Amino acid sequence: MQPRGIGAAARLQRSDTLDAWLATLLPPGIHVGVALVAVGGLGRGECAPHSDLDLVLLHDDRPDADAIGTAIWYAIWDARHALDHATRSLGEALTVADTDLRVALGMLDARLIAGDPELFSRLHTSAVTRWRRDARRRLPELAQLTRRRWEVHGELAFLLEGDVKESRGGLRDFGVLRGVGYAGAADAARPAVRAAHRFLLDVRDAMHTMRGRRIDRLLAQDREEVARLLDCPDGDTVLRRIAEAARTTAHAVDDALRAAERWAAGRPRGGTRSPIGRDVVEQNGEAVLARAAIAPKPEPCLALRVAAAAARANLPIARATLEWLAAFGPPLPEPWPASARDALITLLGSGNGLVATWEACDRYGLVTTWLPELARVRSLPQHNPVHRFTVDRHMVEATRRAAELTREVDRPDLLLLSVLLHDIGKGLPGDHSTVGAPIAAAMARRIGLSLADVDIVERVVRIHLLLPDTATRRDLEDPATITAVAEAVGDRTTLALLFALARVDAAATGPAAWSTWKGRLIAELVGRVDKVLDTGVVPRPKPPDLRAIARDELPVIKVETDLVEVIAAHSRMLLPSVAGCLSLHRLDVVAADTFVADGIVRLAFAIQPRFGQEPEYGPLVADLRRAVRNDLDIEARLAARARSARTVARGGSTRAAPKVVWQPATDAMILELRAADSPGLLYRVTRALSEASVEVRAARISTLGADVVDAFYLVGDERQWGDDNRRKEIADAVVDAACGGADTLAGASTRRPS
């Protein structure tokens, strides 16, 4: 058995113990012409508790080599070690290395376990010599292979459950750095990179120790235990340290691959210098300082100007330039001079060049010399599953996207700054928008904005979720909704900024944060609020003439790509019946409107397919007609669906209990339900409301990852809903329905709603 434990000393002990045992497996008396060679993690002395053993039995064309190897491999398997093995002659080993890049890299780390040291020396010397000889051909191949791996496994720094070995910035990338270093193309062994490597090895040790088996992906439910094994305060600290290590590694690999590309292409160290900005030139595909800029007292805004020029030209900043700026760049005065502010806006508005430039500057500590508040959110994880980035990367990614919308607003500079700062309050107690607003205002003042502009930035950050929250949770036909938003926004300039921010915020969050229906609702809300801010008149919708639409032929059912409309004789169970039917067809309701007149009800549902597949319209229409007639056994079918579904709780945590919040609206009372999402939830809740003789005028369904915030407009004004006992009765019924889920449905009566 391998010794367990975490850290460099434990890894060395494991390697020594394995070496001693493996050496006994080579038959006695065989000292010449055979060598047992370790490659991979064992070759580097980096064995995790449950790592595979990567071994090569090297020989000088001995006829009994296969028999010797077979005996060794079976002894290892009998000891229950995972094994990756090969038996090869010296010529075969070098030939395979010439054709297989992974084997060639492994040979660079080869280490003798037992046997003929002269034979091993010939192998390792030849492998290193051939690698250096063929490096101009092999390094571009290595770069291509590395980038393909990154595409498959993603970027470790920004993944909540990343692969610490294969992802970009993970352990596999240190092999890339060693390969570049062996070729002599770049210095790839800087202290910060070595420290990052050690920490990721410790993380893998902890994962193997905790699970008792090989595992490379840190799962959410394992973070706290890994944190305990690493003596970290909590799982979030582990995630942040992984992100820091991965970002350091990824930046080092980018830098090394660029150096290798220049070296492989045979470009001279100097090369042509072409100006790309004041005091900044392009040289060998990188942005570097012009010679005239290297002065005893450089300008305070020099680093910002270099970053802005590099981002606009979409060029990486040379490592030497970043090191010089980090060492000699003076701090910015407060407030910033106009030149620094202009350079920052240019950098933020550079579009696709922003992210890589910002990341490089952050690696060298420049970003936090400009904006110290960003240090607190660097690599801060976000636990909502709709997010794909850490907080700081999300803010920068949203700013990159905001550059595409600068022509849609009156103040593009304020848009870029507001987007960059919109989540600065995350990680602090309280609502991040509220606590972040004064922080953003202080930063805006230091940057040198006028007081009026500071007020706009503060307001935009404070209410940056107002538009998406209102559009998806409130009835846009309610004049009170439009009036409240207009009063909060204040002016059309701020409204345009908020509209742009809402779009880029969702796009930078991830695909689950945006949809066509959400965009349409927000645009509709913005249009109505803009009219109020422009004219002072609140638009009031004209009720439809249901008799004219229906033409006495009921029910009328219309099904479109993202809309289902049902016009039928009024029934208090109509809403839950249609909602349940849509759930059976795996259609998620994102908004629902009800209008009743002359005994006729019109239901309009905005829908989206749960799994991205369009519904079969014929069966859907047929089932909707059956639901209207009460001929569809919804409960039984939903119960069967619930029994077959398997919901796995992530992170091993207990979900919070459902919560009901009451809020008044125009001619209605809003019941807002916050609960865990589950199939058939809308059906169960609207059924509970109907059975309590409550009429729903409209509903807005907002799904946030695994949770929902559903708002139901219940007919009746605030006076009618003043009875606390009545409200408690309704709230209890709704909470019971929300808690019901699979168990309640499975055990429910299969009677049809009357």
First vs last Cα of the chain: how many Å apart? 68
Name the residue type at position 277: G
CATH of the domain at 21: 3.30.460.10
As a residue count, the chain comes to: 754
Name the residue type at position 47: C
Q: Of 133, 157, 176, at which residue does a domain stop?
A: 133
Band (pLDDT 50/70/90 cuts) for residue 635 is confident
Band (pLDDT 50/70/90 cuts) for residue 749 is very low
pLDDT tens readout for residues 637-690: 887 776 665 444 344 444 578 999 998 888 889 999 999 888 788 999 999 999
Give residue 191's pLDDT. Answer: 87
In angstroms, the CA 525 to CA 733 distance is 32
What residues contact residue 454 under an 8 Å CB cut-off, 6+ apart? Answer: 441, 444, 445
DSSP string, 550-618: HTT---EEEE-SSEEEEEEE--TTHHHHHHHHHHHTTEEEEEEEEEEETTEEEEEEEEEETTSPPP-HH
92 and 111 in a single domain? The answer is yes
Confirm whether 415 is domain-assigned: no
165 and 43 in a single domain? The answer is no
Give residue 11's pLDDT. Answer: 94
In angstroms, the CA 522 to CA 343 distance is 33
95 and 238 in a single domain? The answer is no
| Residue 275: pLDDT over 60 | yes
Confirm whether 361 is domain-assigned: no
**Quick check: 383 and 345 in contact, CB under 8 A?**
no
pLDDT tens readout for residues 337-393: 999 999 999 999 999 999 999 999 999 999 999 999 999 999 998 877 778 889 999
Give residue 582's pLDDT. Answer: 92
Confirm whether 591 is domain-assigned: yes
Domain range for 51: 8-133
705 and 580 in a single domain? The answer is yes
**Quick check: 500 and 411 in contact, CB under 8 A?**
no
118 and 145 in a single domain? The answer is no
Mean of the pLDDT values across residues 687-716?
86
Q: Of all residues in the chain, what percent carry a pLDDT higher than 70?
A: 93
pLDDT tens readout for residues 485-501: 999 999 999 999 999 99
Mean of the pLDDT values across residues 218-231?
92
Q: Of 133, 162, 193, at which residue does a domain stop?
A: 133
pLDDT tens readout for residues 577-630: 999 999 899 888 877 888 887 788 888 888 888 776 777 889 999 999 999 988
Confirm whether 222 is domain-assigned: yes
Name the residue type at position 532: V
What residues contact residue 393 under an 8 Å CB cut-off, 6+ apart? Answer: 157, 158, 355
Mean of the pLDDT values across residues 259-278?
80
| Residue 414: pLDDT over 80 | yes
Confirm whether 455 is domain-assigned: no
Give residue 298's pLDDT. Answer: 84
| Residue 296: pLDDT over 80 | no
Collapsing DSSP states into helix, strand and coil, what is residue 84?
Answer: strand
Give residue 224's pLDDT. Answer: 94
In angstroms, the CA 439 to CA 428 distance is 11
Give the full edge-to-edge strand order of the sheet including 83-89: 83-89, 53-59, 34-39, 111-115
Give residue 744's pLDDT. Answer: 44
Confirm whether 240 is domain-assigned: yes
Q: Of 103, 133, 163, at which residue does a domain stop?
A: 133
Q: Which residue has the higher pLDDT, 312 or 649?
A: 312
Kindly report whether the peptide bond that precedes residue 335 is cis, defined as omega within 30 degrees of 0.
yes
Band (pLDDT 50/70/90 cuts) for residue 753 is very low
Q: What is the largest CA-CA distance in the chain?
A: 102
Q: How many CB atoms lie within 10 A of CB 556?
A: 16
Q: Which residue has the higher pLDDT, 66 or 744?
A: 66
683 and 714 in a single domain? The answer is yes
378-384: long-range contacts, CB 8 A cutoff, minimum separation 24 = 378/240, 378/244, 379/157, 379/239, 379/240, 379/243, 379/244, 379/247, 380/236, 380/240, 380/426, 380/427, 381/160, 381/236, 381/239, 381/240, 381/243, 382/160, 382/426, 383/160, 384/704, 384/705
**Quick check: 505 and 464 in contact, CB under 8 A?**
yes
Give residue 741's pLDDT. Answer: 53
CATH of the domain at 258: 1.20.120.330
Collapsing DSSP states into helix, strand and coil, what is residue 106?
Answer: helix
Q: Which residue has the higher pLDDT, 749 or 122?
A: 122
579 and 711 in a single domain? The answer is yes
E strand intervals along 22-123: 34-39, 53-59, 83-89, 111-115
**Quick check: 93 and 123 in contact, CB under 8 A?**
yes
What's the pTM value of the predicted model, to 2 decimals? Answer: 0.82
Name the token pair of 673: 């339900």
Residue from 521, 459, 469, 519 nearest 495 by CA: 459
Tell me the Ramachandran region of residue 321: left when phi exceeds 0, alpha when psi lies from -120 to 50, beta otherwise. alpha
Give residue 601's pLDDT. Answer: 87
CATH of the domain at 696: 3.30.70.260
Q: Of all residues in the chain, what percent carry a pLDDT higher than 90?
A: 66
153 and 103 in a single domain? The answer is no
In angstroms, the CA 217 to CA 223 distance is 11
Confirm whether 12 is domain-assigned: yes
Give the full edge-to-edge strand order of the sheet including 659-665: 556-559, 563-569, 600-609, 587-597, 696-704, 707-715, 668-676, 659-665
Mean of the pLDDT values across residues 702-729?
84
Residue 447 burial class via C-beta count within 10 angstroms: exposed 0-12, middle 13-18, buried 19 and up: buried
> What is the average pLDDT value for the chain, to the nearest integer?
89
| Residue 236: pLDDT over 60 | yes
DSSP H/E element including 696: strand 696-704
**Quick check: 475 and 485 in contact, CB under 8 A?**
no
Helix and strand tally (H, E) in the chain?
Answer: 30, 15
122 and 149 in a single domain? The answer is no
Give residue 656's pLDDT. Answer: 73
Give residue 677's pLDDT. Answer: 83
In angstroms, the CA 620 to CA 564 distance is 10
240-244: long-range contacts, CB 8 A cutoff, minimum separation 24 = 240/378, 240/379, 240/380, 240/381, 241/199, 242/156, 242/157, 242/162, 242/164, 242/199, 242/200, 242/203, 242/218, 243/156, 243/157, 243/158, 243/379, 243/381, 243/390, 244/157, 244/196, 244/378, 244/379
Mean of the pLDDT values across residues 190-205?
94
Residue from 260, 361, 276 nearest 313 by CA: 276
pLDDT tens readout for residues 538-554: 877 777 777 666 666 78
Residue 69 burial class via C-beta count within 10 angstroms: exposed 0-12, middle 13-18, buried 19 and up: buried
DSSP string, 623-643: HHHHHHTT-S-HHHHHHHHHH
Kindly report whether the peptide bond that precedes residue 555 is cis, defined as omega within 30 degrees of 0.
yes
Q: Which residue has the higher pLDDT, 270 or 651?
A: 270
Tell me the Ramachandran region of residue 510: left when phi exceeds 0, alpha when psi lies from -120 to 50, beta otherwise. left
111 and 148 in a single domain? The answer is no
Give residue 550's pLDDT. Answer: 63
Confirm whether 709 is domain-assigned: yes
Instruction: Return phi, psi of residue 575, to 5°.
Output: -60, -50
Q: What angle, 0 to 180 degrees and rounded to 10, lies between the N-to-C axes of helices 191-211 and 8-23?
A: 70
94 and 208 in a single domain? The answer is no
Angle at alpha carbon of residue 149, lines to 145 and 155, rounded to 5°: 135
In angstroms, the CA 454 to CA 438 distance is 10
User: Within a 13 Å sphere around the CA of 180, how many CA atoms are in the beta-carbon half?
Assistant: 26
Domain count, the chain: 3
613 and 735 in a single domain? The answer is yes
Band (pLDDT 50/70/90 cuts) for residue 315 is very high
